Amino acid sequence: MSLKKVMNEYYRDINSVLDVIAKLTISYQSLVNTANFLNQIGLSHRNDIKEALDRAREISCTLEKAICTYDSLQDAYLSYLKTESNILKKRAIPEQIAIEIEEDITLRKD
């Protein structure tokens, strides 16, 4: 497998982690809002509020782990992109780039 394909898979992994973070964030917000709502209702049991806050704390810990994982993945991916960019800058021939762009435009028209 070429490095480019590996990095494309890596990019998909990064997006998967971002999806997890988004879902955890929504769950966390929902639990905090629920705890707040329960706290405002006079009929709610203190135990229900405590339970909602405990669940929010658990999700918060998981969310923090997911964010750390994302940071690590992002650093590696950005390093790859920077290296790739530096190599392309050294090897890029403007005429070759123009030919490739023209070929892409022609293919898209057909």
Note whether 38 and 49 are within 8 A (CB): yes
User: For the segment 13-50, what is each residue's pLDDT rounded down to a tens digit?
Assistant: 888 888 989 999 998 898 888 888 877 877 677 788 78
Q: Is the pLDDT of residue 1 over 60?
A: no
Q: How many domains does the chain have?
A: 1
Residues spanned by the domain of 25:
3-109
Which residues, at least 6 apart from 66, have a Cβ–Cβ distance to it below 8 Å? 17, 20, 21, 24
Q: What is the pLDDT of residue 26?
A: 92
- HEC-encoded secondary structure of the chain: CCHHHHHHHHHHHHHHHHHHHHHHHHHHHHHHHHHHHHHHCCCCCHHHHHHHHHHHHHHHHHHHHHHHHHHHHHHHHHHHHHHHHHHHHHHCCHHHHHHHHHHHHHHHHC
Structure tokens at 57: 């704390």
CA torsion, ordered 86, 5, 18, 78, to nearest 10 deg: -10
Structure tokens at 71: 């940071």
> pLDDT of 67-94, one tens digit each?
998 888 888 888 888 887 788 777 767 7
